[in-house]
Amino acid sequence: MPGLLQILLDALSLGSLYALGALGIALIFGVMRLVNFAHGDVIAFCIFALLWPSVDVVPIVFAGQLPWFLLIPFVLAVGAGLSVLAELAVFRRFRHANPATMMIASFALGFVIRYFLLMLFSSRPKSVQILPGLSQPVELLGARIPLLQVVTILVTIAVLLALVAVLRRTRFGLEMRAAAENFTMARMLGVRANRVIMGAFAMSGALAGAIALILGSQTGTADIMMGSSIMLMAFIATVIGGLGSLFGAVLAGFLLGGVSVAMQFALPLEARPFRDAFVYGAVILVLLWRPQGLLSGRAAKERV
């Protein structure tokens, strides 16, 4: 039984990361049809914001020493700030470009962020100590569970509830949902396009910050490439979930986490190194069955 509980928690915590990532992509896609491939590099940037720039092996800690109640808002703010900056400096200029052009711009921006980090920190992963208290295991129903996993899952649930509250209960949320469904119509009702889009970028960036915190505490390292693998899975989750559907993105994120962990457990030993191939195979099957995604929103339709 403890084994099963561990698998469940593994699945939920991995799924949490994918869900948070997918949400960050889906929020922006919803309002401006942009698949933001720079999202993964924003995640990496958030972690490196804890260190002083240096190419030395031993990192020089900067914000990493802050107490948790300052550290967490700091990282979230860095993510939100960088994301908003990306909107102002890059994506605003491509507002009326076609989605493919915007996507390529996001790739380019991702490379700019990545090489900026490379220049300042070199490509060598650095050890970071974020919230070290979380790496201790706790006893739960007879199993030794890393506290961090429990916290990851709880944080994700809290973030999701907060997001639902913002979208359902606030004026900004109302405008954002309206804009995600029909941007031109929302603007004709006086909804300010820039405000909604900037809000979406800020929320997406803060989510990137949350992922950075979780990944950083999990691995204890800051790696320039750390956002990329999450980004890939998160993007797949948004596609499976039905581009434009926030709920679908979250659901598919957890589904992908679950499938990954289940395969790790169920595949024969020789096949386990190729787990990801099996996961992507399952993704292809899902998309053959439902090309429009599990929950395709109206927003995913072509806007005229």
Q: Does 190 bind another protein (CB under 8 A)?
A: yes
CA distance 91 to 76: 21
Helix (H, G, I), strand (E, B) or coil at 176: helix
Site residues (CB under 8 A) for another protein, limited to 238-297: 297
Query: Contact at 8 Å (CB) between 225 and 245?
Result: no
Q: Which is nearer to another protein, 32 or 46 (CB)?
A: 32
Pairing of strands 126-127, 221-222: antiparallel
Angle between helices 2-32 and 193-219 (to 10 degrees): 150
Q: Does 87 bind another protein (CB under 8 A)?
A: no
Which of 102, 115, 134, 105 has the alpha carbon at shortest distance from 44? 115
Q: Does 92 bind another protein (CB under 8 A)?
A: no
Q: Does 27 bind another protein (CB under 8 A)?
A: no
How many other CB atoms are found less than 10 A from the CB of residue 131? 18
Selected range binding another protein among 56-64, 116-124, 184-192, 276-284, rule: CB under 8 A = 184-192
Q: CB of residue 267 vs another protein: minimum separation in angstroms?
A: 39
User: How far is the first Cα of the chain from the last one, in angstroms, to the nearest whole number?
Assistant: 54
Q: Does 84 bind another protein (CB under 8 A)?
A: no
Q: Which is nearer to another protein, 144 or 168 (CB)?
A: 168
Selected range binding another protein among 5-13, 34-42, 167-175, 205-213, rule: CB under 8 A = 167-175
Q: Does 97 bind another protein (CB under 8 A)?
A: no
Q: Which is nearer to another protein, 32 or 212 (CB)?
A: 32
Is the torsion defined by CA of 26, 29, 35, 38 positive or negative? Answer: negative
Selected range binding another protein among 2-10, 40-48, 172-180, 207-215, rule: CB under 8 A = 172-180
State the Cα angle at 18 between 13 and 22, rounded to 5°.
145
Q: CB of residue 21 vs another protein: minimum separation in angstroms?
A: 23
Query: Contact at 8 Å (CB) between 201 and 83?
Result: yes
Instruction: Kindly state the tokens that stand for 100.
Output: 């493919």
Q: Does 58 bind another protein (CB under 8 A)?
A: no
Q: Which is nearer to another protein, 69 or 171 (CB)?
A: 171
Selected range binding another protein among 10-18, 23-31, 181-189, 235-243, rule: CB under 8 A = 181-189
Continuous segment of H or E residues that includes residue 221: strand 221-222
CA distance 134 to 17: 16
Q: Which is nearer to another protein, 154 or 189 (CB)?
A: 189
Q: Which of 65, 127, 136, 184 binds another protein (CB under 8 A)?
A: 184
Q: Which of 187, 221, 264, 282 binds another protein (CB under 8 A)?
A: 187
One-letter-per-residue 3-state SS of 16-36: HHHHHHHHHHHHHHHHHCCCC
Q: Which residues bind another protein (CB under 8 A)?
A: 171, 174-175, 177-178, 181-182, 184-193, 297-298
